[in-house]
Structure 1
Amino acid sequence: MPDATVKASNYRPINWPCLRQPGRRGKRKRSRPSRMAPMTRHLKRERIVHDLAEKEKHCSACQQDLRPIGEESSERYEYIPAKLTVIEDICKKYACGCTVKTATKPSQPIEKSTAGASLLAQVIVAKTADHLPLHRQEKIFERHGVDISRKTMGGWLAQCADLLKPLYGSMKEVLFQSKVIGTDDTSVKVLDVKLPFARTGRIWPYSGDAAHPVILYDYTATRERTGPEEFLKGYRGYLQADAYGGYDAFFRDPARGLIEVGCWAHARRYFHKALESDQPRMGPALLLIAQLYRVEKQARPLTAEDRLRLRQLQSQPILEKLRNYLLEIQVEVLPKSPEGRAVRYTLKNWTALNRYCEDGDLQIDNNATERAIRGIAVGRNNWVFFGSDEGGKTAAVLRSFVASCQRVGVDPFVWLKDILSRIADHPITRIAELLPHNWVSAQA
């Protein structure tokens, strides 16, 4: 960036990706020829050999037998539908003149239930990872010739969430060890028998840092600050979030020990939204924000100490230019216009937005946590609503384990099947061993 002062009058529209107007497409890149990815090597392989008939192995022209010279190989995927299996546990009984002994069967996740660990894991993953509502799963099971009602599956989900509550508590302890926690929230529809319509509840994701790779979800019936206040009770450290007013009381209270970290992706959206109505003023601001992200691209592979030095050397001057520019145009924009909101939001939250330049472990934005919301948003379009507040709490607990598995590259079905089959017998003092990031280390 040149050292000259940024001025809106010097700006000329540029078709940069960071400035692309909504609805407009940039110059299309030349498409490359499509190439099939190599077939996945860990899958079971079946080799089918296609040979000539014996009479075709003789040449009618020279009257000689054909000799093998090699082979041609090609691969394709075939799908084998999932299937349900009935497992019958037979417990042998023995007796003498004074006693009777019966062999014991392994503990089940839900005693006296017809659902085994693998079936429960499948229902959980289908609902919380693949976003399949229970009524669709009911139809799928019908195609397998098995009658499992959505009410029954709903009961299974609630019982599994209760069974995994100690593990959820252990995961929260790991989360609170994080130097920084990222959080956000999104709305969900909730049925209420007292109302003729669905009301709005909230789902709050809480994401740990790289050293504590867990994601927890919390459900609250409203967006009141009492929800995050209760969840975060006892945590001291950085909290990265948008400028939700409910957090302000936390940050003002020194006894809480919470330090606010802003999100530049959130601030950038304000400027991008205002770009269509005021490109001459919003364009320079977006160019400077783009430069902040270019510095972050260089900083990504560095250690926290080197990342901090790079930010202080390169990002701080850019931030100072941006602040001076926003102060300059603040008097030129209408307060309630899109551009006025962009300028006001950024200047009002300037300290929090600059916080990432104080510590190399902090991130420029909260995108990782916002990605954790995406699963809820996609699911919301499929299952539409929760049946009750209790249903929302159940979904939050189960989604926490699925998202944490996905974060560390663990198949949530494999993890859930294993954990559900042995958590009832696992010592509570060693419950942290079952957390996804610890579990995958033990499997290595």
Structure 2
Amino acid sequence: MDSSADLPPDLAAAHAMILAERAARLAAETRLAEAANAQARQSSAEALIAHLKLEIEKLRRTIYGTRSERSARLLDQLELELEELEAGATEDELAAEKAAGKTQTVRSFERKRPLRQPFPDDIERERVVLPAPTQCPCCGSARLSKLGESVTSTLEEIPRRFKVIDTVREKFSCRDCEAITQPPAPFHATPRGYIGPQLLATILFDKFGQHQPLNRQVQRFKCEGIDLSVSTLADQVGAGAFAVRPIFELIEAYVLSANRLHGDDTKIPILAKGKTDTGRIWTYVRDDRPFGGRDPPAALFYASRDRRGEHPARHLQNFAGILQADAYSGFNALFDPGRKALPATAAFCWAHGRRAFFELADIAQNARRGRSATAISPVALEAVRRIDQLFEIERDIYGLSAEERLQIRRERSAPLLTDLEAWLRAESARLSRSSNVIKPINYLLNRWEGFARLVHDGRICMTNNAAERALRGFALGRKAWLFAGSDRGAERAAVMATLIMTARLNDIDPKAWLADVFARIADMPQNRLHELLPWNWTPPALTPSTQAA
């Protein structure tokens, strides 16, 4: 088919056709650029909404603690959602910029990003001055006068650097008595070792704080040009844990001297012959911040190969204060009036008491089950509503003094507790023994004195979340290291977890603190070891970074 018939007959018509096609192309490019801008605006708005939701949830978690069973997973879900939305918004912004570059009538959309946080004051800085022009690009004149300068800051990474420190110890002999004098050798956690305190702290923190097994650390060191065997690192781990044992004992004595503790445990697989035993990590947390206490927080960990009640009885053999815990029967010996030491006072966790009701009243989870969904229990739904009223009061009084908390609880919480108990007993008498909600009702009623004790002591918290937060690292970390290799390995993990978690509770960088402890503990007198505790620790003076002129 001959397409020449479609060509214009004269030059004017050809010119008009070209202009029309150009206008159509520009209009199409404009529509594409506007569509790309609209998509970028929508993606940016979605990312901003997700960012604000995440910030709100973090603030609520900081102020009030965990609000419900679902909120424990909500934070992680929001963070993952934000990552995807931020990446998508950036892609759409670049696409809009590219589309706007093809037209002169549409301005590219620019995202409003969160305000960038300032760089640390002590960060190393490098000044790179680009060559200045030697002549004016406009007229070619060489008479240029500096007006000022613009600085573009770029955050860059320098691969981890290693260095060998050769410590020279000169020998001197006395001309009079011929005695030989020499400065002492620098301290190494391992006798005749060669690992410095900073590197030793990194190895221990990565293993027990970041849950990186030693074989993975060996692979990473090889990538950085350092050949360290697993046996060498294991030797350092044992020596390092032994060196900080006095600090652990100070934290242990401090925690067990508290008048109130949070107690809990979690599973930890421990290697046995041809299998792994389900061992336990126990934690006891001293944290008086909810009622305005000024004593620093601390966490203590122990390990055992089983969950027999003799373990908490041994851990807390001299403890006679308030123990906040779940209703695990292994703690019962501590509350026995005939106990040799004064009996501890039980304060049970309302989060545990609420959980079974919540599972029976979780409408969202039930909807996801589809045809296998069970009927929502109206009794469980009402129980959750009543318990949540108590939690609302607790959010309002967080951080107040024990006396203020007690007064508000007596005014607002005590009537709600009285009504809740009467309602539970009435429902218990009415319901069948086979009802699925009778078990959580009896869980509360059989321990009502321990659950209701919060209206008699302002120091008591409504939940045991402080202990559960302390154990979260083990719950996540055991997926990485699978099991503890022995009972001593589990005990070593408990010692290091005590130090790392206590540092975190006091807003101290655990790795920097451990490095300074390893550097100083050998020369520290026994009566001054308390200066190395996280809440007494002062970071060593930093050497000013060298900056290029």
Which residue does 1:224 correspond to in 2? Answer: 308
Which one-letter code corresponds to 1:369 in the other structure? A
Report the alpha carbon displacement of residue 419 of structure 1 after superposing the two structures with TM: 1.1
State whether structure 2 residue 447 is matched by structure 1 residue 349.
yes
Equivalent residues in 2 for 1:53-92, closer than 5 Å = 53-55=133-135, 57-60=136-139, 72-92=150-170
Q: C-alpha deviations, 1:61-83, integer Å up to 9, x for none?
A: x9897876665554332112222
Aligned to 1:35: 114
Cα 1:335/1:218, change in 2 over 3 Å: farther
Counterpart CA distance in 1 for 2:73 and 2:276 is 33
Distance in 1 separating the partners of 2:353 and 2:437: 12
Matches within 5 A, 1:127-166: 127-166=207-246
- 1:71-130 CA deviation, whole Å, 9 max, x = no partner? 555433211222222112211112256332222233322221121211111111111111
Cα distance between partner residues in 2 of 1:356 and 1:58 = 78
Q: How does 1:20-419 map to 2 (within 5 A)?
A: 34-42=113-121, 43-50=123-130, 53-55=133-135, 57-60=136-139, 72-96=150-174, 98-192=178-272, 195-210=273-288, 211-255=295-339, 256=341, 257-276=343-362, 277-333=375-431, 335=433, 338-419=436-517
Give the stretch that moved more between structures: 112-121 or 180-189.
112-121
Inter-partner Cα distance in structure 1 for 2:397 and 2:152: 44
- Give the aligned residue type for 2:332: D
Describe the shift of the 1:314–1:84 C-alpha distance in structure 2 as closer, same or farther (beyond 3 A): same
Distance in 1 (CA, whole Å) between partners of 2:457 and 2:131 is 67
3-state DSSP of counterpart to 1:439: coil
SS at match of 2:280: strand
Residue 140 of structure 1, CA deviation: 1.0
Tell me which moved more, 75-84 or 392-401: 75-84
- My pick for the range that moved more, 235-244 or 171-180, is 171-180
Instruction: Give the one of 516, 523, 530 matched to 1:432.
Output: 530
> How far apart in 2 are the matches of 1:279 and 1:21?
21
SS of 2:390's partner is helix
Report the Cα distance in structure 1 between the residues aligned to 2:438 and 2:184, rounded to whole angstroms: 71
Question: Unpaired segments of 5 or more residues in structure 1?
Answer: 1-16
Report how far residue 163 of structure 1 moved: 2.1
1:14 paired residue number: none
Structure with the higher helix share, 1 or 2: 2
Q: Counterpart of 1:394 in 2: which secondary structure?
A: helix
SS of the aligned residue for 2:319 comes to coil
Residues 313 and 333, structure 2, Cα contact 8 Å, conserved in 1: no
Residues 212 and 58 (structure 1), Cα distance of their counterparts in 2 relative to 1, 3 Å cut? closer
TM-score normalised to the size of structure 1?
Answer: 0.86
**Contact 2:201 / 2:514 at 8 angstroms: preserved in 1?**
yes
Counterpart-to-counterpart distance in 1, 2:393 and 2:150: 50
Q: Which amino acid aligns with 1:235?
A: F
Give the Cα–Cα distance (whole angstroms) in 2 for the partners of residues 19 and 374 of structure 1.
15
For 1:128-170, what per-residue CA distance to the aligned partner results, in whole angstroms no more than 9, with x for missing partners?
1111111111111111222212222222222222222222121
Question: How many residue pairs align between the two structures?
Answer: 422
- 1:245-291 CA distances to partner (integer Å, 9 max, x unpaired)? 11112212343320001111121212111114434222221112221
Q: 2:361 touches 2:376 (CA, 8 Å); kept in 1?
A: yes
User: 1:427/1:283 Cα in 2 relative to 1: closer, same or farther (>3 Å)?
Assistant: same
CA distance in 2, matches of 1:163, 1:417: 12
RMSD: 3.1
The CA deviation at 1:332 is 5.0
Percent identity of equivalent pairs: 31
Which amino acid letter does the alignment assign opposite residue 135 of structure 1? N
Q: 1:407–1:21: structure 2 CA closer, same or farther, 3 Å change rule?
A: closer
Aligned to 1:11: none
> Which letter maps to 1:221?
R
Tell me the distance in 1 between the aligned counterparts of 2:284 and 2:538: 21
Q: Secondary structure at the match of 1:81?
A: coil
Cα offset, 1:378, TM superposition: 1.4
Deviations 1:295-324 (A, max 9, x none): 112111422111110011101111122222
- Structure 2: distance between partners of 1:333 and 1:63: 97
TM-score, structure 2 normalization: 0.70
Moved more, 416-425 or 258-267: 416-425
Q: 1:76 to 1:263 in 2, by over 3 A?
A: farther
- 5+ residue gaps, structure 2: 1-66, 87-110, 289-294, 363-374, 542-549
Based on CA coordinates, which of the two structures has the bigger radius of gyration?
2
Which one-letter code corresponds to 1:201 in the other structure? Answer: G
- One-letter amino acid of the structure 1 residue matched with residue 246 of structure 2: P
Q: The residue matched to 1:386 in structure 2 has which SS? A: coil
